[in-house]
Chain A
Amino acid sequence: QKEVEQNSGPLSVPEGAIASLNCTYSDRVSQSFFWYRQYSGKSPELIMSIYSNGDKEDGRFTAQLNKASQYVSLLIRDSQPSDSATYLCAVNTGGTSYGKLTFGQGTILTVHP
């Protein structure tokens, strides 16, 4: 079983819609969770981090964490064509003693006008 799983997509949404990206993880002791955006040919860019159960909002982005279900998601409201990218879920699977990020394979998001 992969440690961090994402639906590879592609996920296609119309401009202005809500894009919902999902991620599950297997290590119950994971403490911190991150979403990265990666444009084609570029490096990953950190867009959200979440450490506690519940929702965290930052502009058009909302991260949701449910540790009991081992599930983290990213909602993008009012999606724009510039949001078209690969979104990587990353989980700190090293507990609190040291940080080791494990990445999912990424979900390709396409926002069409």
Chain B
Amino acid sequence: NAGVTQTPKFQVLKTGQSMTLQCAQDMNHNSMYWYRQDPGMGLRLIYYSASEGTTDKGEVPNGYNVSRLNKREFSLRLESAAPSQTSVYFCASSVRATYNEQFFGPGTRLTVL
């Protein structure tokens, strides 16, 4: 039981490049989330998926898109990376959106040059 997994662990991009961050969970959770964490800003919600087939914007969605591929997988795409998107990205999941005990993956450290 791996919990929440994320790939890649590290990535360096040039401005304007695109990439997809992958997330998968094996806990049969319904809800999944993408956060970014920046020094002094705390954890901020980018997008979430309350259940398979639904996605909604969080606090900082600009510049990102998501896909809930199936119940297990939730990907985050940067279409045209900008230096302001340099951050640590965490994926999380919870049994359901209400009450919301969220469990986090190990994170992806992204640098945009």
Binding site for B on A (CB under 8 A): 31-32, 34, 36, 42-46, 49, 51, 88, 90, 92, 94, 96-101, 103-106
Contacts and interface: CB of A to CB of B under 8 A. Distances in A.
A92 B43 contact: no
- The A contact surface, by secondary structure, is loop
Nearest to A8: B40
Contacts, number: 58
A70 to B, nearest CB: 18
Interface in B23-37: 31, 33
Interface residues of B, number: 24
B42 A105 contact: yes
Contact of B42 (A31, A42, A96, A103): A103
Interface in B91-113: 94, 96-107
B99 A100 contact: no
Given A31-B99, A49-B101, A106-B42, A43 B58 contact: no
Nearest to B41: A105
B42 A51 contact: no
Contact of B50 (A31, A36, A98, A103): A98
A2 B58 CA distance: 16
